[in-house]
Amino acid sequence: MQIHIVSIFPQIFDSFISTSLIAKAQEKKILSFNFVNPRDFCKDKHKQVDDTIYWGWAGMLLKAQPIVDAVESIIKKINKSSTKNNFKIIFPSPSKDIFTQQSAHKFCKVQNLIFVCWRYEGIDYRWEQYMKKKYKTKFQKISIWQFITLWWELPTMTMIEAITRLVPWVIKESESRQNESYSPSQNMQNLEHPHYTRPENVLWLKVPQILLSWHTKKIEAWKDKNTSKKIV
């Protein structure tokens, strides 16, 4: 899987992609990252990527053309590769569509994911109109929930974490991907049972005796009983 990120501050991702399982997945050639800065597509000498909003509204807005050109440059390279036409354009933004574990399962099957990060008050709406018209089935505007962040690189990182952990061999133990909270097989209505590690006693709290018994059927029954089957 290749992850393409359009951002005017790509350096924010330096630590994110160089640590933990994300870094190991890159070493194994399972994941790769490509960063594209819209400033590189600005035609003026100052590389101005933003401007004031019409009607005198507060704040600044990213220009449509540099964002469109940045995304198109990525798609052009994808279509010259062996993964031609296998991409999704993801626009993290306030939306009626909410990112869930089900979304992660869907996106993890796509070879090229293009994330478009924005700043300030957003992006000139014409970029979105262009994408919806030209890439109707490839473009998705999606939110991680009903709140606003200062910078949309953070929601992008959250989605990348959720998606890439489902890519085979990013997490070595396949059971960790199959038995988890918010499972599509449980209609997203399950919260996994409690987990414990050593020592057996912590403060006044003990590990449930059934988990020390090695009685497989009884342990499975305990796990099932302590798994929430309906999330209100």
CA atoms within 13 A on the CB side of 212: 9
Buried b (16+ CB within 10 A) or exposed e, 171-186: beeeeebeeeebbeeb
Same domain, yes or no: 107 and 210: no
Higher pLDDT: 68 or 227? It is 68
Mean pLDDT of the chain: 92
pLDDT tens digit sequence for 90-143: 999 999 999 999 999 999 999 999 999 998 889 999 999 999 999 999 999 999
Q: Model's pTM, two decimal places? A: 0.89
The pLDDT of residue 232 is above 60: no
| Nearest residue to 34 via CA among 8, 12, 2 | 2
Domain count of the fold of the chain: 2
> For residue 117, what are the domain limits?
2-164
Residue 229: how many CB atoms within 10 A of its CB?
A: 10
pLDDT, tens digit, for every residue of 142-174? 999 998 888 899 999 999 999 999 999 998 765
Whether 175 is covered by a domain: the verdict is no
Residues 213 and 104 both lie in one domain: no
pLDDT tier, 55 (very low <50, low <70, confident <90, very high otherwise): confident
Q: What is the pLDDT of residues 130-144, one digit of tens each?
A: 999 999 999 999 999
Please check whether residue 230 lies inside any domain of the structure.
Answer: no
Flag whether 134 is in a domain.
Answer: yes
Is 231 domain-assigned? no
- CATH number of the CATH domain containing 212: 1.10.1270.20
Does residue 81 carry a pLDDT above 80? yes
Q: Once rounded to an integer, what is the mean pLDDT over residues 59-79?
A: 97
Q: What percent of the chain has a predicted confidence (pLDDT) above 90? A: 80
Are residues 113 and 197 both part of a single domain?
no
Q: Residues 221, 134: one domain?
A: no
Residues 157 and 203 in one domain: no
- The structure tokens listed for 196 are 């414990």
Least Cα distance to 131 among 83, 79, 77, 87 occurs for 87
Compute the distance between CA of residue 14 and CA of residue 187 in angstroms, rounded to an integer: 36
